Chain A
Amino acid sequence: MHTLKVQYRPDDYPEWIDWREFSQKFDIIGKAGSLDIGGVPTARAGFAPRVPFGKPAQKCDPTTARQLRRGFEFQVKFKGTGYCVFNRFRIHAMKLIEKSTSSC
């Protein structure tokens, strides 16, 4: 079972903001150590297609009074334990009509 933590930050914000955490979530297919009648291991590498993160929680930057989900660019940090391969990643955003102020 693997662990994965995802964080993001808008527009070079100095802190990473928690987005989603998967604890003991991803696993191999089959049972580790089990063998077929020929002695061949039956467990196979696991896969996890299109794991959604959901909408990040509403948070506000106390310094600039901005909603942290709003920005012009977003960086993502992945942190975890255990072997896996990242096949692809897709991030969604909504275009906004820019307000003269964007205070929370």
Chain B
Amino acid sequence: MINDPNRVYDGFFSMEAGVDAGRAANVIDTNECVSAENMTFRGGKPAVRPAWRRLRIEDEDFTNGNHSYYEDGGDAYNQVIPNRSAKENFNHGIFQCAHAYSPHVGPDSLMVMIGGRLYRVIPYVNNAKVTEVSIEDQTGEKYPPGHPNAGKLRNKRNRNTLAIAYMVQADKWFIVQDGESSAILYDGAKARRAITDTVRDKTEIPVGTMMAYGMGRVCLVVNERDIAFGDLFGSHDQPDPADALVMFTERNFLTEGFDAAIPFEQGIATGLAFFPQLDTSTGNGQLLVFAQRGAQAFFLNLQRELWKESQFQIAALLTTGLRGHRSISIANEDLWFRSDDGVRSFRQARSEQYGWAHIPHSTNVKQFVRTDTNRLLQYCSSIYFDNRVLFTTSPYPNATRPFHTGAVVVDFDILSSFGAKVAQPCWDGHWTMPNNIGITQFVAGTFNGVTRAFAFVLEDDLQRNALYELTMDDRDDVTGYEDGPKPKPELNESMIPISQRVEWEWVTRAFDFKQESTPFTELELYDADLWLKDIIE
């Protein structure tokens, strides 16, 4: 250093506390910064975020890409209608929902609802195989005589203009709802509609919206503020005990009353989740039904016969609400979710009753969440992946194709420094996708034993659905592929990734040189030095 008594220095060695925009730039700690885009602070050194890799889904990646539906939604069977084919709808239909699915038999998959049609997507390293799942509707109408498919079931798809759908996996079943059509029940081999208009002892899951599976029951929101509870696993005399899960025969059970309801003053139901409970056989605690202004807890561990006479339902939260049922993620045995004013967690919201403060966890990144439009928060999604939680942010309506321009990211890895003083989770700031394409939903799951995280996005001027994976293997984003040489004459061309460097920026705290000066001493900026490492292409 230059030996000049008037020269003073400031700077940083470590930035392990990440972004803190909750306080002024000149009062935050020396290991914090004000803002960050596409950066991570894991390990203390500011670095560029992990890369996104586009998975190729072209015509050859569809197994039944020509399967079509008529304009009225009926199955066209062997007729091919190019502008309503499976691949055309997958690429350009309205994205509604995605969820990971691990069937009893067959590969782990992503299930996706686009344009009222259900797809099974098996992700590989550079591409994904897509199959449209045909849905059989035994109770539905048939094509009339004279029609090319006369006598066959219509097997209508769901409405293709809805912007959202709802999914859950309950044991072997994958259940899809959209609040209008009968539920779709898929067991990994065959998909069919739920049967709801027969005798009471045979009735299956009713039409509803959000769902959760825990304590051996499927729980479902019906009529916006009522909660219906399905039958207990193995409670019917059927070949597979899981078959009972889609039965809903107890809704009118003598003396047990009807569905549960959330108090009117809490608004409509906005999310459903079982609290992750340690020291239990299932890992499930109470069922939490979040509403716009509060949450109700249901104790499904009580015997069914006691629900009416016991304290089966209590108010778990009275002021903190949830927006966006897909925003719930489990991290550190807590539920993190999107609220009106930012990102909150259930444990934090419960603990606030003992004080006066009422602030979200995301105060540190408030500049990225405070302008979010409330009515669009229902499309928010989050994932827990690589010890981080990513929440979509900045939603845009986009004429029934809502998307998000980025995500706020909180990193829990700082907590796992063994032997070190326990620190707070670190906000990594704001992450965007390559070329600022819009995110429709995050989804994570375990595929062949490996946890993977994906983003469904809108690209090509927000007109085409695409799939990206958040990868720890790449340093540059992969935005496409070009054909390389054939490894062998009988094989297809190899795929050469098209890489794109990540664009990033971050803003430091206000350096006031107070270690060698005072905050009230006027200074002249003279020079600066930067040390970089791990420069990788």
Contacts and interface: CB of A to CB of B under 8 A. Distances in A.
Interface string B482-506: 0000000000000000000111111
Nearest to B12: A89
Kindly state the interface size class of chain B when it binds its partner. Answer: 35 or more
A74 B10 CA distance: 10
B7 A47 contact: no
Contact of A69 (B45, B505, B524): B524
Given A73-B519, A98-B522, A86 B34 contact: no
Given A72-B522, A81-B501, A83-B501, A90 B46 contact: no
Interface stretch (B68-76, B179-187, B380-388, B528-536): B528-536
A93 B523 contact: yes
A80 B37 CA distance: 11
B525 A90 contact: no
Given A88-B12, A89-B11, A93-B524, A28 B535 contact: yes
Given A45-B535, A47-B533, A83-B535, A53 B524 contact: no
A71 B503 CA distance: 30
Given A83-B536, A88-B13, A94-B526, A74 B48 contact: no
B511 A52 contact: no
Interface string A67-104: 10111111111111111111111111111101000100
Nearest to A82: B501
Contact of B512 (A50, A54, A73, A76): A73
B528 A85 contact: no
B31 to A, nearest CB: 12
Interface string A26-47: 1110001000000000000111
Of residues B7, B526, B534, B535, which shows the largest number of chain A Cβ atoms within 10 Å of its Cβ?
B535
Given A28-B537, A79-B504, A92-B7, A72 B528 contact: no
A75 B7 contact: no
B260 interface: no
A75 B507 contact: yes
Of residues B12, B501, B508, B522, which shows the largest number of chain A Cβ atoms within 10 Å of its Cβ?
B522
A28 B532 CA distance: 12
B527 interface: yes
Contacts of A79: 504-505
Given A45-B534, A93-B524, A76 B508 contact: yes
Of residues A2, A87, A91, which shows the largest number of chain B Cβ atoms within 10 Å of its Cβ?
A91
Given A91-B527, A94-B7, 18 more contacts: A32-B537, A53-B530, A71-B522, A72-B522, A74-B525, A75-B25, A75-B508, A78-B508, A81-B502, A83-B535, A84-B47, A88-B531, A89-B530, A92-B7, A94-B8, A94-B523, A94-B526, A95-B517
Interface of B: 2, 4, 6-13, 15, 25-26, 34, 45-48, 475-476, 501-513, 517, 519-537
- Closest 10 A-B residue pairs measured CB to CB? A46-B535, A79-B505, A83-B475, A93-B523, A87-B531, A73-B510, A90-B11, A73-B512, A82-B501, A86-B46
